[in-house]
Amino acid sequence: MQRIAIIDIGSNSARLVISHIYKSGAYNMVFNQKEMLRLAQKTEGEGLLSKEAFDSTLQVMQSFAYMCRQYKTDKIIAVATAAIRNAKNGSQLTNEVFEKTGIRLHIISGNMEAQLSYLGVINTLPMKDGIIFDLGGGSTELILFRNRKLVESVSIPLGAVNTTDIFHIRDTMPPSAYSDINFFISTRMEQYPWLKDASLPLIGVGGTARTVAKMIQRSRNYPSSRIHNYIFSAQSFRTLFKKLQGTTLEERMNIPGLSEERADIILAGASIINCLLAQTKSKRIITSGCGLREGLFYDYYAKTNNVPLIAEDILKESTQNVLRLFSVNIEHNRHVAALALSMFDGWHGLHGLGKQYKKLLKTAALLHDIGITINYYSHARHSSYMILNAKIFGLTHAEQMLCAVIAGWHNGIAKRYFKNHAYRSLLREKDWDIAGKLALLLALAESLDYSESNTITAIIPDYDSTAATLEIHTTENAAIEMQQIKTLEEWFVETFCLPLRTIIKTETPEA
């Protein structure tokens, strides 16, 4: 097992993330520490970081170094962005950090910062085309990608902290200040024609983007607290921005979703987003909870594990990671998934579901048993909870909830379990019927490998007006599996209004 530490010293805050990479190739985060630094505000004349900036950064880095020792990290990757990059004495600070902590703090360029943010986004969001904006304290990185490939990128030295200081809008933003800010930001964005009228979705990275999403979620009583892949319209943002423009700092302290540590810089951050919307003519914003730090991790992971830097299928890769982390029998889960998908295809005329549900069935089938790592009894419910909260990328919030319900019902429909669930309203009424159909297919597939011996080598599902048939090919006696199938016959009739008939074909193994 490897223990990897990622340190990001930004213009507003500093972060330490420690992840484990296991022999199986699976990885997960085990520690996360955030400290507010506000380096963009701690500058003196002639672009020098102040003594306070040096002292606070050294104190934070010593704290991070201590935690790295506690976790016995094998590798520390530490980077500094805009505030230290733009300071004339930035390299002096990184030298002192190394002398006092032994950690090499690398100052990365704006282009490198953009590249890393792109890696963090492209490996965790199912977007082919878009414009990423990584809005930090001292800079904003803008990245255009098409067909999942980076096309253009730039780092603009305008962030939520330094823009706040330039225009003195920590408390309020008078109309005259708004006009000045709008002109100031827009004229800089106009230098990049690829932004103009791109009409692509904007993908927000960084604390300001996450905070905007949280405020919109809270205003709508959104049931989930998940931010990654939360989507809202440009009009929703403009409504929020108009509300923020008329507030004082004290009033903003009471806005749900807006933390005290960001209340004084949100006007500037939101102004940058507003100008970006005007330039690009984008209709929606997608929030990314992954960015530079995740990009650094994927860069390291790809190089050390000999895997592609950009995942071809993020749903497949993230599901496999969860499977490797928690499954007690990966081959069984893969076999069950294959059987379930065969029934989905063969009985398409019975369930009538679109191909988008096939990926949900596959995801639920692969992960349906991970709850066994908590407790075998009621493991379906444990699996459901774990799926709902796992880092599975490539699904909407509602789709991930649906996967959780399918897995949670693979031992039988239990509507009571989800009756008062906090996330219940993510699903429509018809989604619950869909979940029941897919859970039945999963239950049948699970029954066909009940002994976890791959006794059933293939199945051929079919149906006519009188019955559904399941031709089962097996290499040996499958009495246990057939007994389990019988327990599901009543559920099948209730769901598809047809009896289920099984045909056993025993094959002689080749010598």
3-class state of residue 392 by DSSP: coil
What are the φ/ψ torsions at residue 168 (nearest 5 degrees)?
55, 55
- pLDDT, tens digit, 9 for 90 and up, residues 17-47: 999 999 999 999 999 999 999 999 999 888 9
> What pLDDT shows up at residue 31?
98
Q: Single out the residue of 308, 406, 427 nearest to residue 360, CA to CA.
A: 406
> What pLDDT shows up at residue 421?
83
What does the pLDDT average to over 4-25?
97
Write the DSSP symbol of residue 190: T
Torsion angle (degrees, nearest 10) of CA 261, 266, 268, 271: 160
> Is the model's pLDDT at 419 over the cut of 80?
no
- pLDDT, tens digit, 9 for 90 and up, residues 125-178: 999 999 999 999 999 999 999 999 999 999 999 999 999 999 999 999 999 999
420 pLDDT band, cuts 50/70/90, is: confident
Cα three-residue angle 188-192-198, rounded to 5 degrees: 115
- pLDDT, tens digit, 9 for 90 and up, residues 95-113: 999 999 999 999 999 999 9
3-class state of residue 170 by DSSP: coil
Give yes or no for a contact between 159 and 40, defined as CB atoms under 8 angstroms apart. yes
Q: CB-based contacts of 498: which residues, under 8 Å, 6+ apart?
A: 350, 463, 466, 467, 468, 492
Residues in the chain: 511
What does the pLDDT average to over 479-505?
95
Q: CB-based contacts of 328: which residues, under 8 Å, 6+ apart?
A: 369, 372, 373
> What pLDDT shows up at residue 510?
59
What does the pLDDT average to over 313-324?
98
Q: Single out the residue of 271, 40, 289 nearest to residue 178, CA to CA.
A: 271
Distance, CA of 138 to CA of 126 (rounded, Å): 28
Query: DSSP letters along 402-430, please?
Result: HHHHHHHTTTS--HHHHHT-TTGGGS-HH
Angle between helix 429-447 and helix 479-486 axes, rounded to 10 deg: 150
Query: β-strands 13-21, 27-36: how paired?
Result: antiparallel
> What pLDDT shows up at residue 328?
85
3-class state of residue 480 by DSSP: helix
Which residue type occupies 337? A
278 burial class (0-12, 13-18, 19+ CB within 10 angstroms)? middle
Sign of the alpha-carbon torsion through 360, 361, 367, 372: positive
Distance, CA of 463 to CA of 501 (rounded, Å): 9
> What pLDDT shows up at residue 509?
59
Q: pTM of the predicted model, to two decimals?
A: 0.95
> Is the model's pLDDT at 511 over the cut of 70?
no
> Is the model's pLDDT at 416 over the cut of 90?
no
Token pair recorded at residue 426: 């993510």
Tokens 């949900």 appear where?
A: 360
What does the pLDDT average to over 477-485?
92
Angle between helix 429-447 and helix 397-408 axes, rounded to 10 deg: 50
Distance, CA of 269 to CA of 298 (rounded, Å): 27
What does the pLDDT average to over 49-74?
98
Higher local confidence (pLDDT), 424 or 359: 359
Contacts 24+ apart (CB under 8 A), 230-236: 230/286, 230/287, 230/397, 231/284, 231/285, 231/286, 231/287, 231/396, 232/284, 232/285, 232/287, 233/283, 233/284, 233/285, 234/277, 234/282, 234/283, 234/284, 234/285
> Is the model's pLDDT at 507 over the cut of 90?
no
How much is the CA Rg of the chain, to the nearest whole Å?
26
418 pLDDT band, cuts 50/70/90, is: confident
Distance, CA of 472 to CA of 210 (rounded, Å): 50
Query: DSSP letters along 355-372, please?
Result: THHHHHHHHHHHHTTGGG
3-class state of residue 466 by DSSP: coil
> Is the model's pLDDT at 370 over the cut of 60?
yes
Token pair recorded at residue 173: 């933003």
Token pair recorded at residue 144: 């255009």
Give yes or no for a contact between 433 and 444, defined as CB atoms under 8 angstroms apart. no
Q: CA distances (Å), 149 to each of 128, 132, 264, 312, in order?
A: 8, 12, 36, 12
Give yes or no for a contact between 390 and 402, defined as CB atoms under 8 angstroms apart. no
417 pLDDT band, cuts 50/70/90, is: confident
What does the pLDDT average to over 262-285?
97
Higher local confidence (pLDDT), 420 or 102: 102
> Is the model's pLDDT at 451 over the cut of 80?
yes
Q: CB-based contacts of 447: which residues, under 8 Å, 6+ apart?
A: 481, 484, 485, 487, 488
